[in-house]
A and B are shown apart, each in its own frame.
Chain A
Amino acid sequence: MEAVHDHSHDHHVPTGIMRYVTTTNHKDIGSLYLWFSFMMFLVGGVMALVIRAELFQPGLQVVQPEFFNQMTTLHGLVMVFGAIMPAFVGFANWQIPMMIGAPDMAFPRMNNWSFWLLPPAGMLLLGSLLAPGGAGGVGWTMYAPLTIQQGMGMDMMIFAIHILGMSSIMGSINIITTILNMRAPGMTMMKMPLFVWTWLITAYLLVASMPVLAGAVTMTLTDRHFGTHFFNAAGGGDPVLYQHIFWFFGHPEVYIIAIPAFGVISEVIPTFSRKPLFGYPSMVYATGSIAILSFLVWAHHMYTVGMPVEAQLYYMFATMLIAIPTGVKVFNWVATMWKGSMSFETPMLFAQGFLFLFTIGGFTGLVLAVTPIDIQLHDTYYVVAHFHYVMVAGALFAAFAGVYYWLPKWIGKMYDEKLGKIHFWLSLTFFNITFFVQHFLGLAGMPRRIPDYALQFADWNMVSSIGAFGFGLSQVFFLYILLKAIRSGEKAPEKPWDGATTLEWTHLPTPAPYHSFETPPDLRN
């Protein structure tokens, strides 16, 4: 007779606002991340609509050029650091412990910290608009020497980025240690769900790249206030060096956003194809290869600053090389569906949308990898279209797929399937109306980050702006679908997706209990 116990947390569910302030529960923190990211997504979306309203017609109608620049800057920063990254950290918090049979994250208190750093950072970022001179109008890349000429809002943005970076690093350390040390017996590395693998790789990317960003913005700060001249050519600094350091972080950042999206899609497609993921080991190795290659191609963002032909060739071919592991993933997803018993509920529709549109974004990326073409298209709307196909149709559609897929597990209620499908078709249609036409604008030579443009670009800009407003309203509709599901959704069955095979569906009730897997499941057989 014996009583054995190990690390665990309170069994009762605390209530009120303090529940969320003091919580160390991975599910609560996951929800906080997801709601925070959705709020930031709406804020960043409004900024995008300000941009598109101004670009609806040539000439200046809605905002002044300075404010337009601030909007493009904040839209990028808010969407990348405030919306998409926290959204996938939210997924990680909810899903990783449940998928590996762990009771919580390895460092629950640090988990609480890493979330609660986000709201002050968000406030600093948005509050910079109220600073004298407004927010920094420098673009999300914050190139020197423009950053040196900005007002106090720039400092606020720098501090916001520091705090966001700290949050990301804490989150990454937590994720790495959780995955390495808290798996259920029998959950070997090569049995882990691909979503967990993608997050492990993403966490490594974050750990490797975040100090670079922190250093870059600190040097920008010291250039602004402490008399250094790292990037200020007027004092002997090198602005191009800033571009190198920024893109050394910036390109892996693209994959920090995209790789967890790959993970979500790798869960959704097999479930709705009712087949195991095709080529699981190759998916793991392909993800690892993409992560490694992402550190070796940064200067393809800088072909136009001038570099030796040998360097151009290297970056061109290295960039093209990424298409190979990415192609492996796309073909594996397609092969998973091949002869599967497929059904097209909303998560699968978004996964299909992801697959189709992300592949287009990948192909336009290949076009841009070719140095002579990139020199023509650099800083045009073609680039804007390309990265929105990757970021919106890639990451955001995957996030939607993930929310619809796991919502029944999280809240124990079903969303309205009909409304979900309407949301998908509206998003797909308006997304393409907004961004597909931007390829034409870019090919015709329209530069990005301008509030006014030549008359020849008027028609497609009008179409793009109409699409943007439609896309924005579609996401308000998504909020309605979520609230409807939470308030009055039908009770979810124990396993709403019969093809789901991961632990949260096979070993836990629906909705998932507040504390799960306090006793680890035995998966050794």
Chain B
Amino acid sequence: MRRHKAAQSSVKIVFLCLGSVTMSIAIGFAAYGLWLVLPYAGLECLALGVAYFWLKKQANDYEIIYLENDQVVLESNFSDVYQKITFNRYWIQISLETTKTNRVKIYVGSHGNRVEVGRLLPSVKKRQLMNQIKSLAATQEI
């Protein structure tokens, strides 16, 4: 179930309205010689723009792991880059690694290919996900 998000066009309009109001105020003061309002207004609009851009980039992110015949399918879309990878369920290997900074990473793969899954999850949930994938691969019936 997707969350209720403002349409990209609406977000653009909101950003443009807000930005134009803020910049108009700053330009107005600059016209009276108080030009130091301008850099702050610019910085603020930049921060707001980065925030919207970041959200837009991540708006359609998802990762789905499911079983299709004898294949474990990893389907993901990060920053609008779609990827679909399949592994034979009988050959799949799942490993959990801890980085130097204590971050937990799960890798799924077989025959020398492997891919990280669950990047958006916290450590505790990653362990749960690993168990879920294991039981998925071991499932007798679909």
Majority secondary structure of chain A interface residues (helix, strand, loop or mixed): mixed
**Once the chains bind, are A208 and B22 in contact (CB under 8 Å)?**
yes
Indicate whether B91 reaches chain A with its CB closer than 8 angstroms.
Answer: no
Minimum C-beta distance from A174 to chain B (A):
8
Instruction: Specify which chain B residues have a CB less than 8 angstroms from the CB of A310 in the assembled complex.
Output: none
B-facing mask of A217-234, CB < 8 A → 1, else 0? 011001000000010000
A162 to B63, CA, bound (A): 41
Instruction: Specify which chain A residues have a CB less than 8 angstroms from the CB of B81 in the assembled complex.
Output: none
Indicate whether A3 reaches chain B with its CB closer than 8 angstroms.
Answer: yes
**Once the chains bind, are B36 and A219 in contact (CB under 8 Å)?**
yes
**Once the chains bind, are A212 and B37 in contact (CB under 8 Å)?**
yes
**Once the chains bind, are A12 and B124 in contact (CB under 8 Å)?**
yes
Instruction: Specify which chain A residues have a CB less than 8 angstroms from the CB of B118 in the assembled complex.
Output: 5
**Once the chains bind, are B63 and A188 in contact (CB under 8 Å)?**
no
Instruction: Specify which chain A residues have a CB less than 8 angstroms from the CB of B21 in the assembled complex.
Output: 208
**A245 contacts which of B22, B34, B64, B122 (Cβ < 8 Å)?**
B34
**Once the chains bind, are A207 and B25 in contact (CB under 8 Å)?**
no
Which of A70-78, A175-183, A364-372, A486-494 lies at the interface? Answer: A175-183
**Once the chains bind, are B51 and A215 in contact (CB under 8 Å)?**
no
A-facing mask of B63-74, CB < 8 A → 1, else 0? 111110000000
A9 to B39, CA, bound (A): 35
A511 to B125, CA, bound (A): 23
Residue of A nearest to B24 (CB): A208
**Once the chains bind, are A6 and B120 in contact (CB under 8 Å)?**
yes
Instruction: Specify which chain B residues have a CB less than 8 angstroms from the CB of A183 in the assembled complex.
Output: 3-5
Given known pairs A1-B136, A241-B33, A241-B34, the reply for A211 and B22 (CB within 8 Å) is yes
Given known pairs A10-B124, A207-B44, the reply for A3 and B29 (CB within 8 Å) is no
Indicate whether A339 reaches chain B with its CB closer than 8 angstroms.
Answer: no
Instruction: Specify which chain B residues have a CB less than 8 angstroms from the CB of A222 in the assembled complex.
Output: 36
A93 to B77, CA, bound (A): 30
**Once the chains bind, are A520 and B55 in contact (CB under 8 Å)?**
no
Minimum C-beta distance from A219 to chain B (A):
5
Instruction: Specify which chain B residues have a CB less than 8 angstroms from the CB of A437 in the assembled complex.
Output: none
Instruction: Specify which chain B residues have a CB less than 8 angstroms from the CB of A3 in the assembled complex.
Output: 64-66, 129, 132-133, 136
Q: List A residues 379-430 near B (Cβ within 8 Å).
A: none
**B44 contacts which of A7, A8, A210, A519 (Cβ < 8 Å)?**
A210
Indicate whether A498 reaches chain B with its CB closer than 8 angstroms.
Answer: no
**Once the chains bind, are A7 and B120 in contact (CB under 8 Å)?**
yes
Given known pairs A5-B118, A212-B37, the reply for A182 and B66 (CB within 8 Å) is no
Minimum C-beta distance from B118 to chain A (A):
7
**Once the chains bind, are A215 and B34 in contact (CB under 8 Å)?**
yes
A170 to B50, CA, bound (A): 12
A181 to B59, CA, bound (A): 9
Indicate whether B18 reaches chain A with its CB closer than 8 angstroms.
Answer: yes
Minimum C-beta distance from B60 to chain A (A):
11
Indicate whether B52 reaches chain A with its CB closer than 8 angstroms.
Answer: yes
Residue of A nearest to B132 (CB): A3
Indicate whether A161 reaches chain B with its CB closer than 8 angstroms.
Answer: no
**Once the chains bind, are B34 and A106 in contact (CB under 8 Å)?**
no
Contacts from A to B (Cβ < 8 Å)? 1-12, 101-102, 106-107, 169-170, 173, 176-177, 180-188, 204, 207-208, 210-212, 214-216, 218-219, 222, 230, 241, 245, 248, 519-520, 522
What are 27 of the A-B contact pairs (CB < 8 Å)? A1-B136, A4-B64, A5-B125, A5-B129, A7-B120, A10-B123, A10-B124, A173-B48, A180-B14, A181-B6, A181-B55, A183-B4, A185-B2, A185-B4, A207-B22, A207-B48, A208-B25, A211-B37, A211-B44, A212-B26, A215-B26, A215-B38, A215-B41, A218-B36, A230-B33, A241-B32, A241-B33
Q: Which 4 A-B pairs have the closest CB atoms?
A: A215-B37, A211-B40, A2-B66, A211-B41
Known A-B contacts: A3-B66, A520-B1. Give 9 more (CB < 8 A): A9-B122, A106-B51, A169-B47, A173-B51, A208-B21, A211-B37, A212-B25, A215-B40, A230-B34
